[in-house]
Amino acid sequence: MRHHGRMHAQPGVGLRPDAPWGYLPASSFRSRRSALSDAQRQTWERLWPQLGRQADTGETLDTPLDTPLDTQAWFGRSAPLVLEIGCGSGTSTLAMAQAEPDIDVIAVEIYRRGLAQLLCAIDAEQVGNIRLIRGNGVDVLKDLIAPQSLTGVRVFFPDPWPKARHHKRRLLQTGTVSLIADRLLPGGVLHAATDHPGYAEHIGAVGDAEPRLVRADPDSESLPISISRPTTKYETKAQEAGSHVCEFVWKRI
């Protein structure tokens, strides 16, 4: 099941004893296959070689990623860079990129159909500052993003894995937050949102425990990226069902 653009990992955690972030969520995903419409497939075939890359999902790589990722060459300019992990069908991605044309956005998602929907929207709206990666966000951060290179990281409505025995599969763990902090520039922003109260408590605790991050107050300080995001149809349904959305904004010191 997928909800709010959530990414579902297979069980287990990875251990990187040679890295300061140590434990990370599992990097293996069960890729869900879903057919594209004719229009989506045609757009994919036309634009994916230019706008998309595929990290290792355990499948044949049609357009493999170079390591490390040369974002200036990919976008054709030097601009502040935001990484969005788990973009779903890209509703928020598109709107936020349109609102900030001077910022480049890399949207990471495991599911091809969601990326195809975003690709079609990019084509229809002629948005030039979004690129797509099909793969696992943790692997992208770890292997393809240089330290202190991101102006922002966005994680909206990651899978809460509500059962206690599954909490270790959650994306925003101590290790992942440490890795995000490592990839942020000084002053860079981590913006997260969830509608699950238990996960909200967990996210707040691990974010506040990261020594390189401090809570930001968007009402009283200037931030390098906007934290204004549209309300998606999934979020609207959650709110109608009584769920409260918690927003978190941290800044790297």
CA angle 160, 184, 109 (to 5 degrees): 45
Strand partners, 105: 82, 130
* Spatial separation of the C-alpha atoms in residues 233 and 79, rounded to whole Å: 31
- Phi, psi angles (nearest 5°) of residue 83: -110, 125
User: CA-CA-CA-CA torsion for 37, 39, 45, 48, nearest 10 degrees?
Assistant: -90
| One-letter amino acid of 2 | R
The CA–CA distances, whole Å, from 106 to 134, 152, 240 equal 10, 10, 31
Which entry of 139, 159, 182, 195 is annotated as an active-site residue? Answer: 159
The CA–CA distances, whole Å, from 220 to 165, 230, 233 equal 39, 21, 30
Active site residue 159: yes
**Do residues 7 and 85 make contact, with C-beta atoms less than 8 angstroms apart?**
yes
Q: How many residues does the chain have?
A: 253
* Spatial separation of the C-alpha atoms in residues 60 and 224, rounded to whole Å: 37
Q: Sign (positive/negative) of CA torsion 170, 172, 175, 180?
A: positive
**Do residues 151 and 225 make contact, with C-beta atoms less than 8 angstroms apart?**
yes
Q: Which amino acids are annotated catalytic?
A: 159
